[in-house]
Chains A and B, each alone.
Chain A
């Protein structure tokens, strides 16, 4: 099996927009920033923040809609005074298609 799985076209996510990938172990938010970069992070930091795909993006950051925590999309780290980190996943864009690390979405791959 390939290390990456295609999840859709880059045009499925508008600039400064985000979409969710549902998996058996929770939702992953896939962001596309104003400069066209694509990032994948856990949708929730349980009990603290999320759903992050619903936040407002600015530069390579997103502001959580619930408590206004700001997360760095490149690292998943909460910025400023808040402490916390959401998991980030490898994602890449090839010929206009978005591919996510297979182990992020398929449990059997993660287990192997």
Chain B
């Protein structure tokens, strides 16, 4: 006798299960198939081509009305089941009909997760899950000038965005993480993907937190981010993830966790109820990919047919594709002990490939731009093939065993001909190559013929690369000092290429400059971050995670893990009120040591990290801000009392010091930058060993540069004498800016001057008045963005709060 089988849900899992069931037990069951969606089974994965217009819905239907009829399935599409009565073995449909079952399959799949933002229930806020959602998006494309926002930069969100863009909609993707598809791609591939989407006209906002969905007359109007940005939209697609749909099963009293618990035979805690697909949890795993779910379909069919079968979740590699983007990710690419990377980058073609190797086997692969070999690598991962024999040429793919090594000059070769290589003399790549072709076959010959590299010398590395690139083996490059083991480029090369190629983020620089590691190291990340800060003020988003701890938490770490706090006192001048506030703070926070520093400031040593925002808050109330005693940036301007009090004083050295510090505080530079202003040549402020010192004389101000009093001891050299305070301030700012733009990270000015020559500096800051002015203007422009008191941001606005408080504290939990 045939038994009654009811299936709840006609998704891909149910469709495949029925096919297998009719193969193994053709006439065993009388099947009734319920589906909340008013249609039968279709290939949900193919909704993306429907959205993009490559396919129509009929093409992705896998089970037609004729198929159901031929196989004797009673379709009940567009009808929900609202209740399961396990003791009576019945289900109740939404219109109250009660049906008996002998066996029941729950295949309710998953629900899109909707973030409960204010406004999530507005009209025009949709998920991307079914044909209705897809049709809503397609309809939007017919409206001229339509705008859409997609929340979620994962696979589904990007498919929605790419499809909408192809339909002519102005799309913005808002993603909470730092790079797109962070679960499948590393930072480098995420960067390339973003670039490709931007090229398609899609706006991408990463590290963006949604705050509220704004509406008008019950309809969505815009998305508000927590930084205050408002993104207008006619449609908001939320594609942030899915959750197993377990409510019906849970109400029926079945065992559920994240999903409906099933055993190896796909049977739930009730022997007459089975389940499969995205709604189940098997041995702690839940499922979103089609391969294991199709395995479940085979098992469930055999179980129903009374045959032996067991489902086991094999760790399968997965591949994925975003519409119009050449992208591949398979297996596990997280770093782990014993794993090594093989990385291949071709910046000119926008190609990135990374293989993760463990025990001579590929365990993961990420590829972007050229994924032709993806399936070959996928096979090697799945078969766990030993690759030690072909390791050297593995990354070139199956067709390229035994190929030549990569061209190390790729980054330079890819520069356009009119790129300026030598900024001092305005010499382009084409001019240098012309000089080489005219017979200049050494660095010196290129210098004398083209003038490139003959001034500050910072482009010599690139000129050398051009010689190698043009002459091949004929040219032997002198050894150059590279930034770190992650790159073949020197600091000068990197700085110049960041400007020449307009590289505006760390992942972008690493990709375009052919970095050898996936995300750098503690040496190159801070350097790159500084070069970005200096090159793109106002547009570059500072990456605190690439900064040394002192600059990240705006205090100086001490050997016991506590911090020191130094408030700014412009020119070394303070007031009784400030001193009282410092004393009160020292008492309140049990500061063990209070010290006067060499730079004429007061240092509170031994402050606990957790207390930093609170102590800053108190100091801020008294009008004090960060003294930035931790910064690779402007530190202090030390002064003597000058003509106000001193009988020898020739000028108001204190006043000038305050003006300079007021203009310069907050600026970042390659290394720390210390100043002093002395009121007479007796030099009580010790200006002659500073990075920049000013000595006041009767006739004006001597500006001295390049001093040092650290590991190296060096007296300053005279840069220029000027007549007025205004000129002194302008020269100081111009000098600082020239250093900020040109020096390599962690070089103090004296090291930089030794490299470029004092005369070269003088030409730019003293002789060329126009250039001096332009440098000072660039400095003041940059200061608009960096003169922000970091203590106030943290103490009052809660910036980076995660840096200061522990995530959990078990010392306050009473022992159980």
Q: State the CA gap A37–B553 with chains docked (Å).
A: 23
B816's nearest neighbour on chain A, judged by CB, is A108
Q: Which residues of B, 541-574, contact A by the 8 Å Cβ criterion?
A: 545-549, 552-553, 557, 559, 561
A14's nearest neighbour on chain B, judged by CB, is B802
Contacts of A36 on B, CB cut-off 8 Å?
177, 182-183
Q: Does A15 contact B (CB under 8 A)?
A: yes
Q: State the CA gap A70–B523 with chains docked (Å).
A: 12
Given A30-B807, A35-B182, verify A17-B545 contact (CB < 8 Å).
yes
Contact for A55 among B186, B336, B549, CB less than 8 A: B549
Contacts of A14 on B, CB cut-off 8 Å?
545, 802
Contact B802 A58 (CB under 8 A): no
Contacts of A70 on B, CB cut-off 8 Å?
522
A105's nearest neighbour on chain B, judged by CB, is B810
Which of A8, A13, A16, A30 has the most C-beta atoms of chain B within 10 angstroms of its own C-beta? Answer: A16
Contact B337 A72 (CB under 8 A): yes
Contact B258 A19 (CB under 8 A): no
Contacts of A58 on B, CB cut-off 8 Å?
517, 519-522, 525
Contact A60 B802 (CB under 8 A): no
B747 to chain A, nearest CB (A): 19
Q: Does A21 contact B (CB under 8 A)?
A: yes
Contact for B807 among A12, A57, A72, CB less than 8 A: A12
B177 to chain A, nearest CB (A): 6
Q: Does B334 contact A (CB under 8 A)?
A: yes
Q: Which residues of A, 47-77, contact B by the 8 Å Cβ criterion?
A: 50-51, 54-61, 63, 65-66, 68, 70, 72, 74-75, 77
Q: Which residues of A, 63-99, contact B by the 8 Å Cβ criterion?
A: 63, 65-66, 68, 70, 72, 74-75, 77, 95, 98
Contacts of A23 on B, CB cut-off 8 Å?
810-811
B241's nearest neighbour on chain A, judged by CB, is A96
Given A14-B802, A34-B186, verify A24-B811 contact (CB < 8 Å).
yes
Contact for A21 among B517, B557, B802, B806, CB less than 8 A: B806
Given A7-B808, A34-B186, verify A15-B178 contact (CB < 8 Å).
yes
A31 to chain B, nearest CB (A): 11
Q: State the CA gap A54–B547 with chains docked (Å).
A: 10
Contact A66 B807 (CB under 8 A): no
Contacts of B806 on A, CB cut-off 8 Å?
19-22, 27
Q: State the CA gap A36–B548 with chains docked (Å).
A: 21
Contact A56 B545 (CB under 8 A): yes
Contacts of B545 on A, CB cut-off 8 Å?
14-17, 56-57
A103 to chain B, nearest CB (A): 12
Contact for A65 among B557, B803, B812, CB less than 8 A: B557
Q: State the CA gap A16–B335 with chains docked (Å).
A: 13
Q: Does B493 contact A (CB under 8 A)?
A: no
Contact B522 A35 (CB under 8 A): no
Given A12-B802, A36-B182, A56-B548, verify A74-B336 contact (CB < 8 Å).
yes
A99 to chain B, nearest CB (A): 11
Contact B548 A65 (CB under 8 A): yes
Q: State the CA gap A39–B51 with chains docked (Å).
A: 40
Q: State the CA gap A36–B334 with chains docked (Å).
A: 9
Q: Does B420 contact A (CB under 8 A)?
A: no
Contact for A20 among B547, B807, B816, CB less than 8 A: B807
Q: Which residues of B, 762-816, contact A by the 8 Å Cβ criterion?
A: 802-803, 805-813, 815-816
Q: State the CA gap A38–B404 with chains docked (Å).
A: 39
B558's nearest neighbour on chain A, judged by CB, is A66
Q: Does B333 contact A (CB under 8 A)?
A: yes
Contact B335 A60 (CB under 8 A): yes
Contacts of B807 on A, CB cut-off 8 Å?
7-8, 12-13, 19-21, 30, 98
Contact B557 A54 (CB under 8 A): yes
Contact A75 B522 (CB under 8 A): no
Contact for A15 among B177, B258, B546, B548, CB less than 8 A: B177
SS of B interface (majority): loop
Contacts of B182 on A, CB cut-off 8 Å?
15, 35-36
Contact A22 B522 (CB under 8 A): no
Contact B559 A66 (CB under 8 A): yes
Contacts of A60 on B, CB cut-off 8 Å?
334-336
A70's nearest neighbour on chain B, judged by CB, is B522
Q: State the CA gap A72–B559 with chains docked (Å).
A: 22
Q: State the CA gap A2–B574 with chains docked (Å).
A: 57
Q: Does B455 contact A (CB under 8 A)?
A: no
Contact A21 B808 (CB under 8 A): yes
A51's nearest neighbour on chain B, judged by CB, is B561
Q: State the CA gap A3–B810 with chains docked (Å).
A: 15
Q: State the CA gap A21–B803 with chains docked (Å).
A: 13
| Residue-wise interface mask of B (486-524) relative to A, using a CB-CB cutoff of 8 A (1 in contact, 0 not) | 000000000000000000000000000000011111100
Q: State the CA gap A45–B333 with chains docked (Å).
A: 29
Contact for B808 among A8, A50, A59, CB less than 8 A: A8
Contact B335 A35 (CB under 8 A): yes
Contacts of B336 on A, CB cut-off 8 Å?
60, 74
A54 to chain B, nearest CB (A): 4
Contact B177 A106 (CB under 8 A): no
Q: State the CA gap A51–B337 with chains docked (Å).
A: 22
Q: Does B526 contact A (CB under 8 A)?
A: yes
Q: State the CA gap A1–B815 with chains docked (Å).
A: 13
Contacts of B518 on A, CB cut-off 8 Å?
59
Contact A106 B816 (CB under 8 A): yes
B487 to chain A, nearest CB (A): 13
Contact B561 A34 (CB under 8 A): no
Q: Does B730 contact A (CB under 8 A)?
A: no
Contacts of B517 on A, CB cut-off 8 Å?
58-59
Contact for A22 among B177, B187, B549, B810, CB less than 8 A: B810
Q: State the CA gap A16–B258 with chains docked (Å).
A: 28
Q: State the CA gap A83–B812 with chains docked (Å).
A: 34
Contact B333 A35 (CB under 8 A): yes
Contact A22 B809 (CB under 8 A): yes
Contact B258 A37 (CB under 8 A): no
B79 to chain A, nearest CB (A): 31
Q: State the CA gap A75–B338 with chains docked (Å).
A: 10
B178 to chain A, nearest CB (A): 5
Contact for B522 among A17, A19, A68, CB less than 8 A: A68
Contacts of A50 on B, CB cut-off 8 Å?
561
Contact A74 B337 (CB under 8 A): yes
Q: Which residues of B, 67-96, contact A by the 8 Å Cβ criterion?
A: none
Q: State the CA gap A6–B19 with chains docked (Å).
A: 43
A109's nearest neighbour on chain B, judged by CB, is B816
Q: State the CA gap A12–B202 with chains docked (Å).
A: 29
Q: State the CA gap A61–B335 with chains docked (Å).
A: 9
Contacts of B548 on A, CB cut-off 8 Å?
56, 65
Contact B522 A63 (CB under 8 A): yes
B645 to chain A, nearest CB (A): 42
Given A16-B545, A22-B808, A30-B807, verify A56-B525 contact (CB < 8 Å).
yes
A64's nearest neighbour on chain B, judged by CB, is B522
Q: State the CA gap A30–B803 with chains docked (Å).
A: 12
A37 to chain B, nearest CB (A): 5
Contact A56 B811 (CB under 8 A): no
B243's nearest neighbour on chain A, judged by CB, is A95
Contacts of B816 on A, CB cut-off 8 Å?
1, 106, 108
Closest 3 CB pairs of A and B: A60-B335, A63-B522, A19-B807
Beyond the given pairs A50-B561, A61-B335, 9 more chain A to chain B contacts, judged by CB atoms under 8 angstroms and listed by A's residue number, are: A21-B806, A24-B810, A33-B335, A36-B177, A56-B546, A59-B335, A63-B522, A65-B549, A65-B557
Give 5 pairs: A residue, B residue, CB < 8 Å, sorted on A: A12-B802, A34-B519, A55-B549, A56-B545, A108-B815
Q: What residues of chain B have their CB less than 8 Å away from a CB belonging to chain A?
A: 177-178, 182-183, 186-187, 258, 333-337, 517-522, 525-526, 545-549, 552-553, 557, 559, 561, 802-803, 805-813, 815-816
